[in-house]
């Protein structure tokens, strides 16, 4: 007899990845009576998780708060185009709704889950079990551990690229928004700093309420003052004379790092951001983490193609070394391609033939240059 309880699975971090893994693990009939330990240090910072999918493949459809069928793009020359995304829908789940579902309903409804608030200090493999030590030296044991702690990167600070954003939830006094179309990228604001490429992202929840976000690709650290300036300027340029109130905000940084994904084979396996589930060139991760959780619990190896990491690495190199080219690349992409095809490409669901077609529409010399420079 063991002197201490041993959980079948421990999950470190109750964020997007940890809770998706928890859910998928207990969905499997053979795991229904398994004991799960969830340890979390308590970061509940506001996030608007968006993703696109077909109707039958939507992640957590019962948590989706708003869906859009159209995408709007505005080029650096101020040219606007809105397009239907056919069989796809762009969805929004707020972190508040996601956490409230898990902590107020799902976890209380499942007595096999033990939830502990604490900071994991160390994971150590001891024969067949993993010993989990928390700050304060509380100790737990589990057969397997999914770990969402992010390890320090081996990449030099100079070669790191970030996506920083600062968005505000605003409520206008009149009906001025098109609530049917998400603005995926608006590059119309004059780019004033060569080290940043800035665009705006708009989620219109209704004809009055929206999240309007300044998004920046940069190799530099978060610069709150600069992003506040961009946001105010954008509002002035686009909504001059419109009265609005700011009812909330959301900010964050996503390191655009390429990390090799791993399966649930070892006793300790990384999940979420720590497992490379954030797509390095775009920052989208929610559905990738969901797919990864399903693959892990079903012990399936994902069929992700290496060529997408290759495409990501070229774009990252461009952001690192020639950031000012990004608006031009996006202008061209969105003027030449159907938006639904761009989304399928970003979701890594296109065929090689479709990718060749897509690349043939872009500035080939620019991509070849970055391909050569990257390999130097």
Ligand X SMILES: Cc1cc2nc3c(=O)[nH]c(=O)nc-3n(C[C@H](O)[C@H](O)[C@H](O)COP(=O)(O)OP(=O)(O)OC[C@H]3O[C@@H](n4cnc5c(N)ncnc54)[C@H](O)[C@@H]3O)c2cc1C
Toward ligand X, which CB reaches closer, 42 or 152? 42
Binds ligand X by CB under 6 A, chosen from 9, 11, 39, 145? 39
Under the binding rule (CB under 6 A), the answer on residue 283 touching ligand X is yes
121: phi then psi, degrees, rounded to nearest 5: -100, -40
- Contacts of residue 314, Cβ cutoff 8 Å, sequence gap at least 6: 367, 370, 371, 374
Binds ligand X by CB under 6 A, chosen from 89, 273, 294, 320? 273
Q: How many CA atoms lie within 13 A of 304 on its CB side?
A: 22
Under the binding rule (CB under 6 A), the answer on residue 15 touching ligand X is yes
For every residue of 37-50, DSSP letters joined together read EEEE-------EEE
Calculate the alpha carbon distances from 354 to 148, 325, 333 in Å: 34, 23, 13
Under the binding rule (CB under 6 A), the answer on residue 119 touching ligand X is yes
Considering the complex, what minimum distance in angstroms separates the CB of residue 116 from ligand X?
9
Binds ligand X by CB under 6 A, chosen from 9, 10, 16, 211? 16
| Nearest to 296, CA basis, from 334, 261, 322, 325 | 261
Q: How far apart are CA 299 and CA 263, in angstroms?
A: 8
Under the binding rule (CB under 6 A), the answer on residue 319 touching ligand X is no
Under the binding rule (CB under 6 A), the answer on residue 146 touching ligand X is no
Toward ligand X, which CB reaches closer, 7 or 370? 7
Q: How many residues bind ligand X (CB under 6 A)?
A: 31
Closest-approach residue to ligand X (CB): 15
Under the binding rule (CB under 6 A), the answer on residue 85 touching ligand X is no
Both structure tokens of 355: 């990718």
Site for ligand X in 171-230 (CB under 6 A): none
Considering the complex, what minimum distance in angstroms separates the CB of residue 276 from ligand X?
10
Under the binding rule (CB under 6 A), the answer on residue 256 touching ligand X is no
324: phi then psi, degrees, rounded to nearest 5: -65, -15
Binds ligand X by CB under 6 A, chosen from 48, 75, 183, 350? 48
Under the binding rule (CB under 6 A), the answer on residue 259 touching ligand X is no
Stretch that binds ligand X, among 82-90, 240-248, 280-288, 325-333 (CB under 6 A): 280-288
Instruction: Judge contact between 294 and 22, C-beta under 8 A.
Output: no
Binds ligand X by CB under 6 A, chosen from 8, 35, 41, 332? 41
CA 121 to chain centre: 26
Give the strand pairing for 113-117 and 36-40: parallel
Q: How far apart are CA 314 and CA 312, in angstroms?
A: 5
Residues that bind ligand X (CB under 6 A): 12-18, 39-43, 47-51, 119-120, 148-149, 250, 252, 254, 272-273, 278, 283-286
């Amino acid at each position: 007899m063991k002197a201490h309880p041993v959980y079948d699975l421990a999950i470190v971090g109750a964020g997007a990845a940890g809770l998706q893994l928890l859910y998928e693990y207990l969905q499997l009939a053979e795991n229904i009576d398994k004991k799960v330990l969830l340890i979390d240090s308590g970061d509940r910072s506001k996030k608007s998780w968006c993703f696109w999918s077909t109707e039958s493949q939507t992640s957590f459809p019962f948590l989706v708060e708003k869906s859009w069928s159209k995408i709007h793009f505005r080029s650096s020359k101020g040219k606007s185009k809105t397009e239907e995304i056919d069989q796809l829908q762009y969805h929004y789940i707020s972190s508040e709704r996601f956490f409230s579902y898990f902590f107020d309903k799902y976890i209380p409804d499942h007595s096999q889950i033990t939830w502990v608030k604490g900071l994991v200090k160390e994971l150590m493999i001891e024969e067949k079990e993993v010993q989990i030590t928390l700050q304060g030296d509380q100790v737990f044991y589990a057969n397997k551990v999914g770990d969402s702690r992010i390890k320090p990167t081996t990449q030099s600070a100079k070669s790191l690229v970030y996506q920083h954003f600062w968005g505000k939830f605003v409520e206008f006094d009149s009906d001025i928004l098109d609530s049917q179309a998400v603005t995926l990228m608006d590059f119309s604001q004059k780019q004033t700093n060569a080290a940043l490429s800035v665009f705006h992202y708009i989620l219109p929840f209704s004809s009055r309420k929206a999240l309007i976000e300044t998004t920046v690709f940069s190799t530099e650290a978060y610069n709150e003052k600069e992003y506040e300036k961009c946001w105010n300027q954008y509002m002035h340029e686009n909504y001059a004379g419109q009265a609005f109130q700011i009812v909330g905000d959301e900010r964050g940084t996503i390191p655009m790092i390429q990390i090799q994904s791993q399966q649930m084979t070892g006793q300790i396996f990384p999940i979420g951001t720590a497992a490379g589930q954030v797509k390095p060139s775009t920052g989208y991760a929610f559905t990738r983490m969901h797919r990864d959780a399903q693959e892990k619990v079903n012990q399936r190896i994902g069929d992700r193609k290496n060529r997408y990491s290759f495409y990501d690495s070229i774009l990252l190199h461009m952001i690192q070394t020639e950031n000012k080219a990004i608006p031009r690349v996006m202008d061209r992409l969105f003027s030449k391609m159907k938006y639904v095809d761009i989304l399928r490409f970003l979701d890594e669901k296109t065929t090689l033939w479709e990718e060749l077609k897509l690349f043939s529409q872009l500035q080939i010399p620019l991509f070849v240059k970055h391909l050569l420079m990257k390999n130097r």
